[in-house]
Amino acid sequence: MKSPCPACKISFNSLSAFDAHRIGTHGVDRHCMTIKEMRAIGMTTNRLGNWVREIATQENAESAFKGRGVRKYPARTARRQRAG
């Protein structure tokens, strides 16, 4: 999902990344963070140039599903069961 900001024109990879870069009170002093401020809170760009809150790695992807009963490769496992 690409979420471009109408105010600063920067593209974000997700709505949560977009929301993270907007600071201040709605209707009072709401504004976009600067690039320096976004980097300071750990935001970075992905390989497509969109701003993200965290770069996805195999390690953090696996930890996100740990203990939820979700298989890493469900389609591949299903094919093996049918073939075997």
Taking residues 41-62, what's their average pLDDT? 79
Please give the model's pTM, rounded to 2 decimal places: 0.62
Both tokens of 33, joined, read: 């963070």
- The pLDDT of residue 38 is above 90: yes
* Three-state SS at 23: strand
Tokens of 67: 């203990």
* 69: containing domain: 3-83
CA dist 69 to 39, 57, 63, 73, 75, Å?
34, 20, 12, 12, 15
Domain count, the chain: 1
Mean pLDDT of the chain: 79
